């Protein structure tokens, strides 16, 4: 899938302390990509949203059938919010013209793989 990330003028990447660990997990092949839920049972395995992979790497409990990062995951929420909101003015546009401003819908509706989402995360945020 082809996409473009649009940044506001004079954009400075915000720090994301768990960025590299999260991107490595997305690229690992260990997690099967799913949608609509952080983690969902699918026959004999689990499927994950990219935010569910983050929650797994940061040991956030009780992810099954949750659509948003839980309120008690303060460490994660303070950096990206419950739906993985992009920093102000940042937008991802796909080749089909769809525009995304957070990771939850990028995962669910853009057609981007975990590998591509990891690239997006690295382009938008810096490792602390």
pLDDT by residue (tens digit) across 51-70?
999 999 999 887 888 888 88
- At 85-113, the pLDDT tens digits run 999 999 999 999 999 999 999 999 999 99
What pLDDT does residue 18 have?
96
Percent of the chain with pLDDT over 70: 100
Please provide the size of the chain in residues. 128
**Number of domains forming the structure of the chain:** 1
Q: Please tell me the predicted confidence (pLDDT) of residue 67.
A: 85
Contact predicate 116/3, CB 8 Å: yes
Q: Which region among 17-21, 50-54, 64-68, 123-127 has the lowest average model confidence (pLDDT)?
A: 64-68
Q: For 121, phi and psi rounded to 5 degrees?
A: -60, -45
Please state, in angstroms and rounded to a whole number, the distance separating the CA atoms of residues 64 and 66.
6
Instruction: Tell me: pLDDT of 8 over 90.
Output: yes
- pLDDT bucket at 128, cuts 50 / 70 / 90: confident
What distance in Å separates the CA atoms of residue 11 and residue 78, rounded to the nearest whole number? Answer: 20
Domain that holds residue 91: 3-10+18-127
d(CA 79, CA 107): 18
pLDDT reading at 73 higher than 90: no
Residues of 16-43 as b/e, b for ≥16 C-beta within 10 angstroms? bebbeebbebbeeeebebbeebbbbeee
């Amino acid at each position: 899938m082809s996409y473009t990330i649009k940044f506001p003028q004079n954009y400075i990447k915000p720090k994301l302390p768990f960025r590299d660990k999260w991107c490595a997990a997305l690229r690992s092949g260990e997690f099967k990509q799913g949608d609509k839920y952080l983690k969902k049972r699918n026959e004999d395995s689990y499927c994950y949203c990219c935010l569910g992979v983050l929650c797994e790497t940061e040991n956030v409990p009780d992810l099954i059938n949750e659509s948003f990062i839980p309120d008690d995951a303060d460490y994660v929420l303070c950096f990206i919010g419950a739906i993985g909101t992009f920093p102000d003015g940042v937008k991802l546009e796909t080749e089909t013209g769809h525009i995304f401003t957070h990771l939850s819908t990028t995962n669910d509706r853009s057609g981007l793989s975990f590998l591509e989402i990891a690239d997006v995360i690295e382009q938008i945020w810096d490792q602390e």
